[in-house]
Amino acid sequence: MTIETGEKESKKSGKKTTRGKYIPNLAEFYFKPTHDWSVQKAKRNYEQAPDKLGSLELDTICFKDCVIGMRDIPDSSIDLVIADPPFGIDFNGKSGAYNRKDDFVVSGYEEVDESYGDFTLRWMKGLPRVITEHGSVWVFSGWNNLESILHAARVMGLETLNHLIWKYPFGVYTRRKFVTSHYHLLLFVKNIDEYFFNKIEHYPQDVWEIKRRYRAGQRKNSTKLPLEVVERCIDFSSKPGDVVLDPFMGNGTTAVAAKSSWRHFLGFEMNVNLKEIIRNQISSVSPGEGYTPYATRLPSVDELAERYPKAYREYLKREGQNE
């Protein structure tokens, strides 16, 4: 990676000046997140967040069809949507191919019983109305449903900002084709001029390598996302105090990620068998417990120095320090 710092030639001597030279990786030493909040400020935003949800209660899960439930959400009241819809591949969550013990998998997973395209159009229809002008929508999708989701987003007038790949070192064994070990994460925004994006890393790439954790011996919905993946969506696309909607709550991953990072949540889930699991998951974290200001999550100067010694020497020079 190279950073353009605007190389200039001294008019008088014709020599290159140090200032403005192309120094790969130097910009990383100076990077700061676009937005940041101290723990106290994040907590205050969370506690003082206006309740915009009308008849719906903040920080709750409604056990009903999200298409029906979303009708009760007031206009422009949701800052971020994280949606991991059912796969629509006749997946009943009990497949032995996934190497799981059926006893630990909660029954009642609600699958799609119409064409995936129609289902996607129905649940995505409500999104542009409920999200704010600065709002974003993250949709998780396997490659098989991608077409339906991109189509529905276009029909709804959502703008595609990024198409990310979540790569995990896991996949169902195959004989005559490649093992699928990635997922698509589509990032849509309502208003391309107004959307919120917090650049919390200097070089945030669109391929995320995050392990799926195998949680042996725990009861769960069959398709739990890793918390880290959902946390990243929240960190880049929302502020402390914002409201995050998950129309397909599953095990409550989005609720846990939101609560522990000073965000509020609202969720829908049709499988009532998940009630207890979701309740336990949510009460296992306290508000803001996972939150630290974004600047503190960046690599330290010492770490950067080890990675980029040349850029470090230049950094010291610019800072007027000796090695």
Ligand X SMILES: C[S@@+](CC[C@H](N)C(=O)[O-])C[C@H]1O[C@@H](n2cnc3c(N)ncnc32)[C@H](O)[C@@H]1O
C-beta of 132 vs 281, nearer to ligand X: 281
Is 84 among the residues that bind ligand X (CB under 6 A)? yes
99: left (phi over 0), alpha (psi -120 to 50) or beta: left
The amino acid at residue 50 is P
Judged by CB under 6 A, the number of residues near ligand X is: 20
CB of residue 215 to ligand X, shortest distance in Å: 11
Nearer to ligand X, 183 or 188 (CB): 183
Distances (CA, A) of 57 to 16, 68, 190, 283, 287: 62, 16, 24, 17, 17
Considering only CA atoms, which of 254, 168, 164 is closest in space to residue 212? Answer: 168
- Asked if 237 and 136 count as a contact pair (C-beta separation under 8 A), the reply is yes
Smallest gap from Cβ 29 to ligand X, in A, equals 37
DSSP letters spanning 115-135: -HHHHHHHHHTTHHHHEEEEE
By CB under 6 A, residue 56 contacts ligand X: no
What whole-number distance in Å separates Cα of residue 30 and Cα of residue 9? Answer: 23
Kindly state whether residue 250 participates in binding ligand X, applying the rule CB under 6 A: yes
Nearer to ligand X, 187 or 311 (CB): 187
66 binds ligand X (CB under 6 A): yes
Is 268 among the residues that bind ligand X (CB under 6 A)? yes
Rule CB under 6 A: say whether 185 interacts with ligand X.
no
DSSP state of 158: P
Contact with ligand X (CB under 6 A) among 110, 133, 289, 319: 110
Closer CB to ligand X, 25 or 148, in the complex: 148
Q: Is 225 in the site for ligand X (CB under 6 A)?
A: yes
| Residues near ligand X (CB under 6 A) | 65-67, 84, 86, 109-110, 221, 223-225, 247-248, 250-251, 253, 268-271
